[in-house]
Amino acid sequence: MVPTSNSPLAGLPDDVLLNLDQQLCFALYSASLSMTKVYKPLLAQLKLTYPQYLVLLVLWEQDALTVNALGQRLFLDSGTLTPLLKRLEKLDFISKKRALDDERRVIVTLTSAGKKLRDQALQVPIQVSCNTGCSLPEMQSLHHQLIKLRASLGKH
């Protein structure tokens, strides 16, 4: 249990503390779900779900990563990634093989179809940015604050 005397919320009345529309967590949660809903139809054209798209973003930057390395980059664990990677493999966007030097590790590699998909994916962030209702500086400000928040939350 953390001491709560230095809470930014200390002293606020009960009805404010538990008011849904004043919860940062809910604004975050519902905005994230709304964002995924905007991506969904765009990614469906590439036969991808949103988390699958994130995996490919990582691999397009750096190919041939272990499951663990992917998980660290995306803040996801193997229980999430293993079935997701199976589906990407079935779609022939990635392939998996054991590392030669350490057979516990599974190396995930893009197939040629997976590499080619990047060209189509370029349109996705462009399309989405038109739906955010934010200017570039607004997006950058929000982005910066979210990364700071994620870092703070991740320490606990």
Tell me the site size for a copy of itself, rule CB under 8 A. Answer: 75
Which sign, positive or negative, has the C-alpha torsion 18, 19, 23, 26? positive
The answer to whether residue 103 forms part of the interface with a copy of itself (CB under 8 A) is: no
The answer to whether residue 150 forms part of the interface with a copy of itself (CB under 8 A) is: yes
Cβ at position 80, least distance to DNA in Å: 4
CA–CA separation, 26 vs 14, rounded Å?
A: 17
Question: Looking at 68, 69, 74, 116, which residue binds a copy of itself (CB under 8 A)?
Answer: 74
Quick note: the x/- pattern for a copy of itself over 35-54, rule CB under 8 A, is: xxxxx----------x---x
The answer to whether residue 138 forms part of the interface with a copy of itself (CB under 8 A) is: yes
Q: Count of CB atoms within 10 A of residue 93's CB?
A: 24
The answer to whether residue 156 forms part of the interface with DNA (CB under 7 A) is: no
Question: Looking at 49, 58, 89, 91, which residue binds a copy of itself (CB under 8 A)?
Answer: 58
Question: Looking at 28, 38, 50, 128, which residue binds DNA (CB under 7 A)?
Answer: 50
Q: Restricting to residues 6-25, name those near a copy of itself by CB under 8 A.
A: 6-10, 14, 17-20, 22-25
CA–CA separation, 18 vs 85, rounded Å?
A: 39
Question: Looking at 38, 57, 58, 76, which residue binds DNA (CB under 7 A)?
Answer: 76
Q: Restricting to residues 114-133, name those near a copy of itself by CB under 8 A.
A: 118, 121-123, 125-133
Half-sphere exposure of 100 (CA within 13 A, CB side): 0
Cβ at position 59, least distance to DNA in Å: 14
